[in-house]
Amino acid sequence: MSRGLPASEPGHTGGFRVAVKVFNRAAYKDAAEVCRLQTELDLALSLASPYVVRTLGTTLLSGFSPALVMELMACSLADLLWKKNGHRPAVKPPSNAVAAPPQNAAAHASCKISGGLKRRLLLEVALGLEFLHSMGIQHRDIKPANVLLDGEVHAKIADFGIATRFTMETSLTNDIGSARYMAPEVLFGPYDERADTFAYGVLAWETLHEAVAFGSMNPIAAFLNMQRGVRPPLKLPEDLASLVPLIEACWQETPQARPQRMSAVVKILEGCGAVLSDGVAYSM
């Protein structure tokens, strides 16, 4: 649960609005769950990147519910893509991690999702993943709902609820993340950060096509399609066609066939004309 706090509310400092992620106190009844919560808090507080939603601190709300205080973002990439086009997948995407100010709903339709903007958003997400991986962190749930946009439509990665630190000696647990974006190896494991690369490939397809991958199917059916090697068709306009090989590389069935590092994805995007400032003023 998240909500924005206006500057006049008690406990707010710094003269700007924040988002508060409130943890369900009843969900943390044993030592393992408390440890998971502490891991998420420590993880969020350790990260400092312009491409990751900034965590400002922690607090206890009335009733002693633990909460994470974060910068307030305007909406999610899912909001921008799906609400703009009136499109809904077979199963409604989960709400974004940070509540959006109500006035932004009408702005979704007025924000033009140009080819340049799509390339920039994908570059910012790739830079966010590159940063996380460099910190030894695998996100494990990359999808449009977990990419948040600020008021100038810049992308930042959010929601580290199932993120984990990885090492060469650690085999990550199986069956983690959202089925529609899940790499084939995750179900049977072990796997590494290249599972994020696979999910990024699906996210890139959705961003460029402004559609949900296998949107007529439920997430489990979509995952089974991916397991069988089926991929949604790549039909991009001429100005985005250079990104087809990148998507094909990211969602390869075997991790070894995918880009070894997200830095390679960043380099490809820059070679395809993605820039962090495209000279166009966007607003939410």
Output DSSP code: residue 146.
G
Tell me the H-state helices in the chain. 31-45, 77-78, 84-85, 104-110, 115-134, 194-209, 219-227, 244-250, 262-271
Inter-residue contact 111 to 152 (CB < 8 Å):
no
Inter-residue contact 144 to 77 (CB < 8 Å):
yes
Burial 4-17 (b: 16+ CB within 10 A, else e): bbeeeeeeeeeeee
Inter-residue contact 183 to 198 (CB < 8 Å):
yes
Residue 176 and residue 36: Cα distance in Å, rounded?
Answer: 14
Beta strands 137-138 and 75-76: pairing type? unpaired
Pick the catalytic residue from 30, 79, 141, 278: 141
Q: 141 catalytic, yes or no? A: yes
Three-state secondary structure call for residue 230 = coil
Residue 257 and residue 187: Cα distance in Å, rounded?
Answer: 18
Q: Which residues are catalytic?
A: 141
